[in-house]
Every structure is written in C-alpha cells, then in structure tokens.
Structure 1
Amino acid sequence: MGIKDRPEGISHTAVEAAPGLWRIDLQKHDLSIPGWEVVQTRVEFTPESPPFKHSHPGEEIILVLQGSLEYQIDGRPPVVCRTGDALTVPYGVHHQARNVGDDIAVELATYVVEKGKPLLTKIE
C-alpha cells in the first residue's frame, strides 16, 4: 500500500507494519540501566486490521489516544480500552489487539525493553 492508498485519518508519517496497522516511531533511547532502552511508538489501527499474537522483550505500557481497542493478554480475560484508558503488558507475555470501533483507533505504545533484542516477536 502506497502513501496515496493510506486510509483517511492515518498520519502521513505512518509506515504500514501489517495490513491496516500503521506505526510511527517517535523515540528510541538508552536507559540509565545498562542493557535496556525505551522505544515509543504511535500505532494506528484501521477497523479492518487483523489482530496478530506477539510478545516483547520487556514491558509495554499502552495509552489509547483515540477509539476503542480490545486487548487479549494471555492469562487474562479480554478487555476493551477506550480513549484515555491505559494498561501494561508484562515482559514476554503473548498478546494481541484489535480495533473494535468504526473509525481509526490509535495507541501510544511505550516499550521498556532489553537492548539488542527484536522489539516484537510474532507468535504463530
């Protein structure tokens, strides 16, 4: 999908990471704790974006900026978060998110992760 094909409402700086899932990397910095870094990303979900199960090598702290997202975190019942809601996904826990609204949903994802490891591991 090219820039001209982006759904209305998706930021012009977003990069499509999966069908209907757009990411904008905002910052990445080493932490004062050796071997750890923080990565902050804006993630934009179209209503058609399929969820995919994945994990991270650290904590993911999520703030929903727009819309409604359903999170399925292994070992917990699914939860719907709306604009202004926040949650944390523990280190290495498998999880997925999907847009349960009619418009673009947006989250601010802040990852506190081990440096040098892949930020995201997709679970088949």
Structure 2
Amino acid sequence: MKNTRIMAAALLIVGSGLTLAAAQAQQPGLRRTDLLQHDLSVPAREVDQVRVDFDPGAVSIKHSHPGEEVAYVLEGSLEYQLEGRSPVTLHAGETLFIPAGVAHVAKNVGSGSASELATYIVEKGVPLVVPVE
C-alpha cells in the first residue's frame, strides 16, 4: 500500500512537470527564465518571478495561472488578450494585473524583441502554467 502511494505521488509530480513542459514546448519564439521561487507567509502560497522573452511576432498559448500575475513589460510592445476583455497593448515600463484563473494570451506586436517580468502569487505545488482550450 505504501509503495502504491509513493508511486502515485511520483506520477503526479512527473505529470505536473510534463504539463508545464508541454505548455512551454507549444510556445515557439518564447523563452522563460525562472528567476525566483519563494514561500510566502500565507500558508500554501508562493511567489514566482519569471522573465519571458518574445521573438518578433511570437504569441503565447492561451493559458491561465493558479493565482494572480503582475506583468511588467521590460522592453518592446506586448498585447495582452484577457478572456472577456478588450485587448490591451503595453510598452516598456507599463504593468498589467491578471486575476487568478483568467485565461489570456500575450503577443509581441512590436517590430523587435519584447520581454516581460512576470510575478505570480500562486498556490504552492500546482503547475504555474495551465493551458486553456
């Protein structure tokens, strides 16, 4: 029985990693650099910071996160389409708050590369990127 639980936990962990890897693999022209992951004083929550670099014309898959995201555009111009809202274009130095669970897409609409610093306040132990159909 103990071995069954250990195997189930291992499969869950591997499956979570594969979901994230699959989400990232489906995003040509994007590069994610994990910068920080740290527990918060709120139980079962953590903060993650990620730099996302977009090649010209690159578009993310439609996805959500298990918590809030604050996107800060470091360079270039990015268009964000949040489900149920009109698209918004941000330029270097501008920010956007994305509520927990809201499906969205980000696209580089500038002529060169673009980058964002994404800060997530999320549920600990849950995949950071959840693909949405």
Flag whether TM exceeds 0.5 (same fold): yes
Name the larger-Rg structure. 2
Residues 1:22 and 2:34 are matched in the alignment? no
Contact 2:80 2:89 in 1 (8 A): yes
- Between the aligned partners of 1:106 and 1:82, the Cα distance in structure 2 is 10
Aligned residues with identical type, % of pairs: 55
Displacement after TM superposition at 1:48 (Å) = 3.3
Contact 2:69 2:97 in 1 (8 A): yes
2:128 aligned to which of 95, 119, 124:
119
- Between the aligned partners of 2:87 and 2:40, the Cα distance in structure 1 is 32
TM-score normalized by structure 1? 0.84
Q: Over aligned residue pairs, what C-alpha RMSD do you find? A: 1.5
Q: Which residue of 1 aligns with 2:41?
A: 32
Aligned residue pairs, count: 110
Q: Which residue of 2 aligns with 1:61?
A: 70
TM-score normalized by structure 2? 0.79
- Between the aligned partners of 1:19 and 1:48, the Cα distance in structure 2 is 10
Any unmatched runs of 5+ in structure 1? 1-14
Residues 42-91 of structure 1: per-residue CA shift (max 9 Å, x gap): 00001132331000000000100000000000111000000000011000
- Pick the structure with more strand per residue: 1
- Between the aligned partners of 2:90 and 2:131, the Cα distance in structure 1 is 22
Contact 2:57 2:109 in 1 (8 A): no
- Between the aligned partners of 2:78 and 2:127, the Cα distance in structure 1 is 24
| Structure 2 letter corresponding to 1:92 | G
1:77 aligned to which of 81, 86, 93:
86
